[in-house]
Structure 1
Amino acid sequence: MKLFRHGLPGQEKPALIDPQGQARDLSGVIDDICAETLTPAGLQSLRAIDPQSLPLIATPGRIGVPFANPGKFICVGLNYADHAAEAGAEVPKEPILFTKWSRPTGANDPVVLPRQSLKTDWEVELGVIIGTQARYISREAALSHVAGYCVINDVSEREYQLERSGTWDKGKGCDTFGPIGPWLVTADEIPDPQNLDLWLEVNGKRFQNGNTRTMVFDVATLIHEISQFTTLYPGDIISTGTPPGVGMGQKPPVYLQPGDEMRLGIAGLGEQTQRVYAWDAALLD
């Protein structure tokens, strides 16, 4: 299934994409797509519904975050060896983990530059959404805890991340720096998360082309490793790292400017498009 939510912020309604690619309204069946919906029982209940019985949505409008009230937003750094090389860093011996403070935003919502930001960058990433509680999970059992997958743009302010004291979180958690979606694609539709093409363009120029098979630590390993440090719950998000081609790695570096447009996608998981804006608090609502 491809699940999504549409409508103004705070007023989103649940929906799905049927096998013919048409949007169908779920609001007569469930109030919203939430953590409980992402559990095996919740997803099985939705699978029992004939999509053709659901009302068509002619024009969904704004696409929101695919599920309400996301949990932890956990990210993985330098998880592609060629991206580590362009960053001038060693390939990590175990996953580098950090968190995003910001709440996720819709796939096509604005990206707002922080005040005086000069080095805001892009990163297309495979997102993993947890569906069942996981702590000290074996690698072999890890994928059974996945509800689904999505596209994430791990927008990053490199000066804040790398040139100021403290953790990476300063450059990763700025408002609007976590577009997610457009859909949550359930795990049964993605039999091999380690063979997905992913790409990103800025103003029509292709900067990132990669495949998840070149991850240093695959999805199962990441879930196993993260579960050694914290309990994962339904609705938690893992952003699994980016392939090469980020702005910081260009010669000379290229960073986002107001008016730029990012377009990115992952095979089978849909596409995002974001316009970049200078700081404006009104765009954060």
Structure 2
Amino acid sequence: MKAACLILTLLIFLAIMAVCVMVKFATDITVEERKREYTQGGTVYQYTRAMGVISLNENSSMQISERFPYVAAVTRNTSKFWSFACFASIVLIKWVVTSAHCRRQSATHRVLLFHDFARNYTHTYPILFWRLHEKFNSSNPTPRYDIAVAKLNVDYYPFTMKPSVFDDKEATELEASIWKTVSTMDKKLYLTNDFDKYEVRIADAAKCFEGYGVELDQSMICIDVSDYDDCFIHEFGPLYSGDKVVGILAVKPRDCDMKLAIFTNVSYYTNWILKSTHTTYYG
């Protein structure tokens, strides 16, 4: 009887210790974020540090960051903390092209370049204003017309950006930029310093319809990543063909077994981007 009581007591003790460890892990992330948010004298440094909290690789991503200097992350702050929102691509020097569903009303948004992040730069760029596609329904978002451009404030920050180019020509050979993220217990996403790239294939639109129930037209691209074992739930950046940005993520895989994603076809919206940015030339 005494042995049974001792075993039961030990099991209860171990269970309590496990819960305490989990709570401490979540608390440590929160406390660390609070420290980063309120230290460094209120400079831009606090934003960058609050956006990337987990270091997965020290040097392995540097070479790939040089390949994708225009890959950017849009982050938002709706209270005291910053968290990852979506990925974007620098275009036309002072603009980013991204998904319309990325913008959240009443939130402050800033842009971080992975190229700078990998080199331990501490600058992020405030967004001056957004232009969402006129037909995008913010109250009931769908993959259709899910595109936006946002102008960056680069006047008071070091200016070393290299923009991606874009045009209305179809691209067939594509690379997916993979800037990896992590999710905390409160389901917030944070950036890491881990970056990769994959060659991806354009799949038949019918496959994405079967997987997501979305009928694709020329404004969307169905992407197949079944050649890779990685889980792509949180880590898609834009699609590129060389230095040309081709796609912006509209619908990410629901789980690790889903190997299809839907991207907004940037080439389809070339004229809209030029009109929205008041630019009269490509690239």
TM-score (norm 2): 0.24
Greater gyration radius: 2
Which of the pair is proportionally richer in helix?
2
TM-score, with structure 1 as normaliser: 0.24
